[in-house]
Amino acid sequence: MLKHYQHFLTVQFAVDEINKDPHLLPNVTLGYQLLNNFHQSHLAVESSLIWLSGKGPTIPNYSCDRQHKSMVAIGGMSSTMSMAMAPLLDVYKVPQLSYGPFDLLLSDESQYPYVYQLGSRESTLHLAAVQVMLHFGWTWMGLIISDDLRGAQFLRDLNEEMASNGMCLAFTEKVPENFLKENEDINFLSRILQSSSNVIFIYGNTDAINEISHLLKYYAFSGKMLVTTSSWDFSTVASDSKMTNFHGTLIFSQFRKGIPGFTDFLRSVHPRANPEDIFLKTFWEVVFDCTLSEISPVDMVHRGCHENFSFAQVSPLYLDKIIMEKSSNIYNGVYLFAHALHHMLQTEGKDVSELAANPLLSWKLHQFLKCVNPVTGIKDELCGDGPSMTAEKYDILNFRSLPGSIRTQVKVGEVIPHEKELRIYEEDIEWPEDFPQIPSSTCSVACGPGYRTQSLEGQPTCCFDCTLCPDGKISNKTNAEECMQCPEDQYTTKEKDRCLPKTVTYLAYEETLGMILASAALCFSILTTFVLGVFVIHRDTPIVKANNRSLSYILLTSLTLCFLSSLLFLGRPTTAICLLRQTTFAIVFTVAIASILAKTITVVLAFRATQPESKLRRWLGSSVSYFLIFICTLIQMGLCGIWLGTYPPFLEKDTHSEASFIVIQCNEGSLVTFYCVLGYMGFLALVSYALAFLARNLPDTFNEAKYLTFSMLVFCSVWIAFLPAYQSTKGKAMVAMEIFSILVSSAGILICIFAPKCYIILLRADRNTLEILKNKSNP
């Protein structure tokens, strides 16, 4: 683990800086003693005992080195090492500055009262992780944590933050103590590989993560994107081809400012300048693959070692040129001790000679270690729990395993969790080999605009189906939980992703249907006027006289008005038109039907009153027919008056009948009265039909009964068909249906009654004579 040599270089650099500072610890020279525990807990305890006993035999509670003036232990690199050293060091109240990641267990003052953690609290790491996940659209994530208090706390925080952002954990695996148990590694790996999540976040203490590292040396998480923290120490993994299993991993590292002068210090480190540094000699020979002289380290040129070699040429595989997180903690730890000692000497009023006479002053440092800021060195009178701080910013690093056993971590972004500020340089990220581009990790494909999510029973909220928004509702964002209702004056697009303003519409003359209906109404009204003209011109002919000339005039005039009344239903409605069009149509149609009824009664009575002394002859006068028309029309006018006086038609905007239009139309008001008006006309038509049907076979050349029967049959058929059609249609179609019924029923009456007569008058004048009439009347 050659990269850890930087930790020692950081101590050396910090001590040299302090010793050169005339204001910090004047007349005091700091030194250091290096002991290696090889990442073994029992060796950490042994090293602690060696440090306390001094050179020679390690005798508990006895020191053979009277010149020993060490006051603080910096270590270990992981919480496990710190916990192993703490019981022995706590006996002598020796402060232990742990430079590994912050651990909640070490913050227990009752169990570890003299351990000071230099690592920042990761209380905002879950916020940073969620922000990065959201940036890449990773809503379905797996989690591997250490089976301890630290992992449990992170799981709680992450679960809460993910839930509030619509994200889910696909699985949570706790790292066992070791993978040496029966098939534990295979079972652990299979559970992860079977998950549908493509992104795995690995979090925990250094020891637990190292277990994962050793597992991944032999078994790759194929098709999985790894995200972890700086607790993952890649230098513990052997340098072999298996390092490609980690390529592309994203790493959250607590933000550290650069230490001025450290790069220059690295250039100055040289065996010639430090001939007694056996660690430097060993490191130098390994990284440059050469051998230094055993006789004199000053004699540099020996077996490939050249004098111009420097740490600036060392591969990142062996040494990081920039200060990493743990090295930064060590640097702050050395300064924390220096400032604490400086304040203690000032407070106690002791000088160097007194310190030399009574070197065991470690226990007095505690109150100062808790009160001094490790970065600024300023003493805070309101002492806290120690130097640990909360990480306010994280660097996002990208681990790369390059050919030639080169490993490096490249900064590709940074995140400030509390301010929700994220900067990521995606073009600088190298993804794992299984992902040619940004990986995707979702349980369900995102529902685009126009769709809403529908939860699946028994599944996490991230697993859902997509359902198209119903008519009148939209969703304009991805993964909308509910569709929004469009305002009444707007309608949805076909894609259901936005609302558009509705167009105001009505059955206008300019429309094709409006033009056809208007043209038909005008043509039929002109035709009816033409027929009326024919009857007026030929008023003295037998066929006109025989079919009650005055009633024919009234009927033709009313039919003309019926055709023209349909024009009231075209164009933009107004309040006045709404009040007039149905009542006008009803009254003129009643006049027409009443005229037909009068004609029918006249025909029937004419054949019943053939005797001169018959009492029925007095009912054959024209005054009786006029009175009948007047009474029938008066009743209809009374019904219309009740309609207008109680609940009259009114102008309204129909926003529902047509999806993309607001239909300006007339509401009929009281439907009961409306159907009463139609029903009254239907009653008159049925009476006329019945009477005409009974008189259809009476012998007479100009007998109208057959034609009246057909006309009423057409009329009743049209309006019976109109009622269900009227109920089932809305908007402009409903208006067009009523116009069509008016035109067809009126045209039916016109054609059935007057077409045969006009044929005889205009084309068969030879049959329009009194002689033929008499001959047909007396067979």
Structural tokens at position 529 = 């006027």
Give pLDDT, residue 235. 62
In a domain, 600, yes or no: yes
406 - beta bridge partners?
A: 402
Give pLDDT, residue 376. 60
Stated as kind and residue range, the H or E segment containing 667 is strand 661-667
In a domain, 541, yes or no: yes
**Low-confidence spans in the chain with pLDDT less than 70:** 1, 65-69, 177-183, 234-243, 256-257, 294-304, 316-317, 322, 350-361, 373-391, 404-406, 604-622, 695-705, 768-779
Query: HEC states along 76-128?
Result: CCCHHHHHHHHHHHHHCCCCEEECCCCCCHHHCCCCCCCEEECCCECCCHHHH
Structural tokens at position 614 = 């018959």
Whole-Å CA distances, 741 to 87, 511, 520, 673, 732: 103, 19, 12, 19, 14
Give pLDDT, residue 522. 94
The edge-to-edge listing of strands for the beta sheet with 661-667 is 503-505, 661-667, 650-654
Burial of residue 50 (CB within 10 Å: 0-12, 13-18, 19+) is middle
CA distance linking residue 574 with residue 572, whole number of Å: 7
Nearest residue to 88 via CA among 134, 124, 53 = 53
Single-letter code of the amino acid located at 568:
L
Give pLDDT, residue 375. 58
Q: Please state at what angle helix 184-193 crosses helix 206-216, rounded to 10 degrees.
A: 80
- Whether 68 and 201 map to the same domain: the answer is no
CA distance linking residue 326 with residue 253, whole number of Å: 10
Whole-Å CA distances, 12 to 1, 335, 355, 567: 19, 12, 23, 103
Q: Which residues constitute the domain of residue 553?
A: 512-777
In a domain, 272, yes or no: no
Structural tokens at position 731 = 């908007």
Query: Long-range contacts of range 743-746, CB-CB < 8 Å, 24 or more positions apart?
Result: 743/517, 743/520, 743/521, 743/524, 743/563, 743/566, 744/714, 744/718, 745/714, 745/715, 745/718, 745/719, 746/524, 746/559, 746/562, 746/563, 746/589, 746/592
- Whether 414 and 461 map to the same domain: the answer is no
Stated as kind and residue range, the H or E segment containing 491 is strand 490-492
CA distance linking residue 87 with residue 60, whole number of Å: 13
In a domain, 268, yes or no: no
- Whether 161 and 95 map to the same domain: the answer is no
| pLDDT, tens digit (0-9, with 9 covering 90-100), for 443-475 | 888 888 999 988 888 888 888 899 999 988 999
Whole-Å CA distances, 738 to 529, 712, 742: 23, 18, 6
- Using alpha carbons only, how large is the chain's radius of gyration in Å? 52
- Whether 601 and 492 map to the same domain: the answer is no
DSSP label at 777?
H
Is the separation of the CB atoms in 158 and 143 below 8 Å? yes
Give pLDDT, residue 141. 93
* 771 Cβ contact partners less than 8 Å away, ≥ 6 residues apart: none
**CATH at 139:** 3.40.50.2300
In a domain, 397, yes or no: yes
Whole-Å CA distances, 624 to 372, 597, 610, 629, 635: 122, 12, 18, 9, 17
Give pLDDT, residue 641. 92
Is the separation of the CB atoms in 593 and 684 below 8 Å? yes
Is the separation of the CB atoms in 461 and 170 below 8 Å? no
Give pLDDT, residue 354. 60
Single-letter code of the amino acid located at 275:
P
Structural tokens at position 687 = 């009476």
Residue after which a domain boundary falls, among 463, 480, 501? 501
- Whether 114 and 25 map to the same domain: the answer is yes
* 757 Cβ contact partners less than 8 Å away, ≥ 6 residues apart: 535, 543, 544, 547
- Whether 628 and 717 map to the same domain: the answer is yes
Single-letter code of the amino acid located at 32:
Y
- Whether 624 and 701 map to the same domain: the answer is yes
Give pLDDT, residue 175. 86
In a domain, 181, yes or no: yes
Is the separation of the CB atoms in 162 and 198 below 8 Å? no
In a domain, 173, yes or no: yes
- Whether 476 and 612 map to the same domain: the answer is no
Helices assigned H by DSSP within 141-242: 149-164, 184-193, 206-216
Single-letter code of the amino acid located at 669:
G
CA distance linking residue 757 with residue 545, whole number of Å: 12
- Whether 669 and 600 map to the same domain: the answer is yes
CA distance linking residue 376 with residue 332, whole number of Å: 9
- Whether 223 and 335 map to the same domain: the answer is no
Residue with tokens 């003493």: 379
Say if strands 503-505 and 650-654 run parallel, antiparallel, or are unpaired. Answer: unpaired
In a domain, 281, yes or no: no
- Whether 356 and 479 map to the same domain: the answer is no
**CATH at 554:** 1.20.1070.10
Single-letter code of the amino acid located at 657:
S
- Whether 481 and 546 map to the same domain: the answer is no
- How many C-beta atoms lie closer than 10 Å to residue 135's C-beta? 15
Is the separation of the CB atoms in 450 and 496 below 8 Å? yes
CA distance linking residue 587 with residue 580, whole number of Å: 10
How many domains does one find in the chain? 4
